[in-house]
């Protein structure tokens, strides 16, 4: 199910030149903000939860997920070079699974690790907040990567749709319509984080069992459907 | 193919050039200004998908509708409840719907410039009478106009609706004019930022992500910092932090000079002195993005 060559090629495509630059810029910005906040406000649990929840988990993780998830397959389909990969005797689901593993790994490294460091800088893991948000970021990475990888195989405008989901649905509708929060990866991962954190600083609108079931279901279904989609892929020309 | 030509022809007097009547064009030429105007109007139409495939019309039109819909609803509510004023100020409208504007810039700026880079058509443009400045101006003006249409249309809906609901004419006209100035600034600023980022990469998808990152991430970072500064009772810092993201920049300018209420935490907009800095930074950014674009296209694809 895992093909090292495909993985190596995907890593190279994802971390090559400018893409790595933007992937690296976001965590760097988080750390800069963290240091600034710490200097401005001192160690404070509420502030930590605000920064990690408001910036790291709500903005940074989805955007890194979009870049890594769609970037793992989108450009190849876009410029047509995916036919060389598809013509090799490798199963299509294997290709998707390998690319998913790579996308998850990249998203985790670039989102969960900075979150942990930021949490440690902000309040030294008081009330387990840093660890809780890191786990939320890890869980969210898996779901986001699977979701956006599927988008990359389905649509040529995967990045736009991914961003619409991440920004408009989760941020805008999520804050206005309470029902939208039930269908948001962010809330599902927060439900997991809530279990880990001590106090009541980390809260979610979704119960843990529901969240777990939905997370697993979305990840598995998205991966399976992406594999199916790749089996019947038609290459479209540039519009 | 059937007949065999004698390859070794007799040299000398048998070769000749026939005059078959080709003539060079000596009519009027439309010139540089015409080329620039064409590039402008094509880019502007392209920003709404006109003259492109049906699929590429979907997103810009959808965003346009999403942008205007709340305005229509507000007018309907104001008429139905016989309110004395609109539920939302003209100047606040763009700030509230900033996610839609950001998405529009992110989807259309790369469409406008990245494809020229990717398919290496930029040298073809420059083989016509236009020059770097013409290309940059036409593209900049086109995207700024498209954004202005996107942001001013809902204001127009609000204004017409307000007049139909017989709200105070002078009051509404003043608010409408202030709103127009603010969205004009916003259009110029966002178009410049979007084009600069998009013109760096020939990949459309990557361009979209980069533009969104610049617009949204800075806003996320700034509003987080502002919220914390507000909670920590250092309200003086709130206004200065707002300088670091495009949308808060516009917010600051209009709350200092265009009579808007600020969306900053605590409602503490910048004072007049700080407002001057905001205006200077905004104009500086617009000029700076224009300069960067000029530099970017000095040598391109050659």
DSSP B192-231: HHHHHHHTT-S-HHHHHHHHHIIIIIHHHHHHHHHHHHHH
Choose from A163, A170, A186, A237 for mutation: most chain B CBs within 10 A.
A163
> Nearest CA to CA, how far is A192 from chain B (Å)?
23
Q: Give domain status of residue A202, yes or no.
A: yes
Is pLDDT at B8 greater than 60 in this prediction? no
Q: Give domain status of residue A17, yes or no.
A: yes
Is pLDDT at B49 greater than 80 in this prediction? yes
pTM for this structure?
0.81
Query: What integer pLDDT is reported at residue B1 of this predicted model?
Result: 45
More confident residue, B299 or B252: B252
Q: At what angle do helices A92-123 and A129-154 cross, to 10 degrees?
A: 150
The answer to whether B228 faces chain A, any CB pair under 8 Å, is yes
Query: What integer pLDDT is reported at residue B36 of this predicted model?
Result: 92
DSSP summary character for residue A91? -
CA distance to A59, A218, B220, per residue, from A134 (Å)? 14, 20, 19
Distance CA A167, CA A169 (A): 6
Q: Give domain status of residue A21, yes or no.
A: yes
State whether A60 and B212 contact (CB < 8 Å).
no
CA distance to A31, A86, B106, B110, per residue, from B51 (Å)? 45, 34, 20, 17
The answer to whether B38 faces chain A, any CB pair under 8 Å, is no
Q: Give domain status of residue A236, yes or no.
A: no
Size of interface A-B (CB pairs under 8 A): 98
Q: Give domain status of residue A238, yes or no.
A: no
State whether B99 and A168 contact (CB < 8 Å).
yes
State whether A18 and B106 contact (CB < 8 Å).
no
Q: Give domain status of residue A182, yes or no.
A: yes
**Which among B119, B204, B224 has CB closest to A51?**
B224
Counting beta carbons within 10 angstroms of the beta carbon of residue A87, is it exposed (0 to 12), middle (13 to 18) or buried (19 or more)? exposed
Q: Give domain status of residue A118, yes or no.
A: yes
Helix, strand, coil % over all residues of chain A, rounded to 5:
80, 0, 20
Q: Token pair of B77, please?
A: 């509510």
B7 pLDDT tier (thresholds 50, 70, 90): low
**What residue numbers bound the domain in which A214 lies?**
4-231
B281 pLDDT tier (thresholds 50, 70, 90): very high
Q: Tokens 């995967």 map to which residue? A: A158
Query: What integer pLDDT is reported at residue A239 of this predicted model?
Result: 45
B164 pLDDT tier (thresholds 50, 70, 90): confident
More confident residue, B203 or B207: B207
ipTM: 0.70
More confident residue, B33 or B234: B33
The answer to whether B233 faces chain A, any CB pair under 8 Å, is no
Average the pLDDT over B200-217 and give the result: 82
Query: What integer pLDDT is reported at residue B294 of this predicted model?
Result: 92
Q: Tokens 């064409």 map to which residue? A: B38
Query: What integer pLDDT is reported at residue A186 of this predicted model?
Result: 86
The answer to whether A13 faces chain B, any CB pair under 8 Å, is no
DSSP summary character for residue B40? H
Residues 6+ apart with CB under 8 A from A13: A19, A71, A72, A75, A76
Q: Kindly list the residues from chain B whose CB atom is less than 8 angstroms away from the CB atom of residue A29.
A: 217, 221
The answer to whether B100 faces chain A, any CB pair under 8 Å, is yes
Task: Please tell me the total count of domains within chain A.
Answer: 1
Distance CA A68, CA A35 (A): 26
**Which among A55, A172, A238 has CB closest to B220?**
A55
CA distance to B57, B106, B108, B211, B262, per residue, from B137 (Å)? 24, 19, 16, 20, 32
Residue B233: closest CA among chain A residues belongs to which residue?
A41
Q: Which of A73-77, B9-13, B16-20, B192-196 shows the lowest per-residue confidence on average (mean pLDDT)?
A: B9-13
Reading chain A (239 residues) residue by residue, the pLDDT tens digits are: 888 888 998 888 888 766 777 788 888 888 888 888 888 777 777 888 888 887 888 888 888 898 889 888 888 887 788 888 888 898 888 999 999 999 999 999 999 999 999 988 888 877 788 888 899 999 999 999 999 999 988 887 788 888 888 877 877 677 677 777 788 888 888 888 888 877 677 777 788 888 899 999 999 999 999 988 888 877 655 44
Distance CA B294, CA B302 (A): 16
The answer to whether B121 faces chain A, any CB pair under 8 Å, is no
State whether B212 and A18 contact (CB < 8 Å).
no
CA trace torsion B146, B100, B214, A10 (10° rounding): -110
Q: CB neighbours (10 Å) of residue B54? A: 8
């Amino acid at each position: 199910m895992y093909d090292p060559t495909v993985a190596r090629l995907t890593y190279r495509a994802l971390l090559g030149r400018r893409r790595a630059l933007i992937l690296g810029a976001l965590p760097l910005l988080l750390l800069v903000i963290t240091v600034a906040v710490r200097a401005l406000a001192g160690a404070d649990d509420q502030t930590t939860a605000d920064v990690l929840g408001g910036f790291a988990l709500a903005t940074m993780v989805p955007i890194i997920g979009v870049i890594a998830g769609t970037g793992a397959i989108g450009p190849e389909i876009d410029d047509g070079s995916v036919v060389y990969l598809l013509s090799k005797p490798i199963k299509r689901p294997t290709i998707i699974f390998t690319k998913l593993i790579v996308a998850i790994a990249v998203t985790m490294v670039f989102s969960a690790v900075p979150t942990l460091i930021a949490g440690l800088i902000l309040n030294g893991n008081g009330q387990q907040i840093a660890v809780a948000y890191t786990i939320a970021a890890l869980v969210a990475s898996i779901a986001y990567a699977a979701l956006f990888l599927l988008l990359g195989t389905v649509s040529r405008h995967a990045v736009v749709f991914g961003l619409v989901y991440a920004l408009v649905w989760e941020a805008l509708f999520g804050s206005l319509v309470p029902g939208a929060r039930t269908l948001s990866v962010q809330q599902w991962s927060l439900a997991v984080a809530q279990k880990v954190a001590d106090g009541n600083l980390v809260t979610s609108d979704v119960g843990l069992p529901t969240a777990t079931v939905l997370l697993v279901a979305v990840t598995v279904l998205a991966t399976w459907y992406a594999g199916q989609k790749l089996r019947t892929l038609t290459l479209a020309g540039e519009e | 193919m059937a007949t065999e030509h004698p390859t070794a022809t007799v040299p000398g007097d048998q070769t000749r050039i026939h005059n078959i009547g080709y003539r060079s064009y000596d009519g009027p030429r439309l010139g540089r200004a015409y080329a620039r105007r064409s590039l402008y109007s094509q880019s502007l139409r392209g920003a709404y998908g006109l003259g492109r495939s049906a699929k590429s019309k979907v997103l810009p039109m959808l965003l346009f509708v999403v942008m205007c819909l709340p305005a229509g609803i507000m007018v309907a509510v104001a008429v139905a409840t016989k309110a004395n004023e609109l539920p939302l100020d003209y100047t606040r409208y763009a700030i509230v719907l900033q996610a839609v504007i950001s998405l529009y810039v992110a989807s259309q700026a790369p469409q406008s410039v990245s494809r020229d880079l990717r398919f290496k058509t930029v040298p073809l443009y420059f083989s016509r009478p236009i020059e770097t400045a013409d290309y940059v101006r036409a593209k900049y003006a086109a995207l700024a106009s498209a954004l202005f249409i996107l942001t001013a249309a809902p204001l127009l809906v609000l204004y017409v609706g307000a007049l139909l609901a017989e709200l105070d004419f002078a009051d509404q006209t003043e608010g409408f004019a202030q709103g127009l100035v603010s969205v004009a600034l916003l259009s110029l600023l966002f178009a410049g930022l979007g084009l600069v980022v998009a013109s760096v990469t020939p990949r459309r998808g990557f361009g979209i992500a980069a533009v969104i990152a610049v617009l949204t991430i800075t806003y996320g970072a700034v509003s987080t910092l502002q919220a914390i500064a507000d909670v920590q009772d250092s309200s003086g810092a709130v206004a200065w932090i707002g300088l670091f993201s495009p949308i808060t920049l516009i917010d600051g300018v209009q709350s200092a000079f265009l009579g808007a209420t600020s969306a900053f935490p605590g409602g503490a907009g910048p004072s007049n002195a700080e407002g001057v800095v905001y205006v200077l930074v905004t104009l500086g950014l617009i000029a700076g993005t224009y300069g960067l674009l000029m530099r970017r296209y000095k040598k391109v694809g050659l």
